[in-house]
Amino acid sequence: MAKLKIRPLGDRIVVEPLEAEEKTKGGIILPDTAKEKPQKGKVVAVGKGRMDESGKAIPMEIKVGDKVLYGKYAGTEITIDDKEYIILKEEDVLAIVEEK
């Protein structure tokens, strides 16, 4: 995996969206135009965290490699080397997906 060329600031993270399902549970294949925007992604870069009012650093709960769920319209979409990424604030992440 090539090293990402950006470093998020503060409590921001960079997420690589995971592909939307191409089939429904009933087996119907969805065309590209009918697929929903993915809301699950893999974290590829994290900032150092945010500061509280007294200047004390608050560490990030999210780390590189985590799979996360985020709001449908959260973040800012960017393209680097023809790959799509989303920059989110840590508070925009709804959950970390823990796979067994």
Domain of 77: which CATH number? 2.30.33.40
User: Is 15 inside any structural domain?
Assistant: no
User: Is 17 inside any structural domain?
Assistant: no
CA distance 11 to 84: 20
User: Is 28 inside any structural domain?
Assistant: no
pLDDT at 23 over 80: no
Q: How many domains does the chain have?
A: 1
User: Is 4 inside any structural domain?
Assistant: no
Closest residue by Cα to residue 69 from 47, 25, 37 = 37
User: Is 10 inside any structural domain?
Assistant: no
User: What is the overall mean pLDDT for the chain?
Assistant: 84
DSSP structure class, residue 75: S
CA dihedral 77, 79, 4, 69 (to 10 degrees): 30
User: What does pTM read for this prediction?
Assistant: 0.76
- The domain in which residue 84 lies consists of 38-92
Identify the weakest region by mean pLDDT among 15-29, 47-61, 82-96.
15-29
CA distance 93 to 39: 10
User: Is 29 inside any structural domain?
Assistant: no
User: Is 64 inside any structural domain?
Assistant: yes
DSSP structure class, residue 31: P
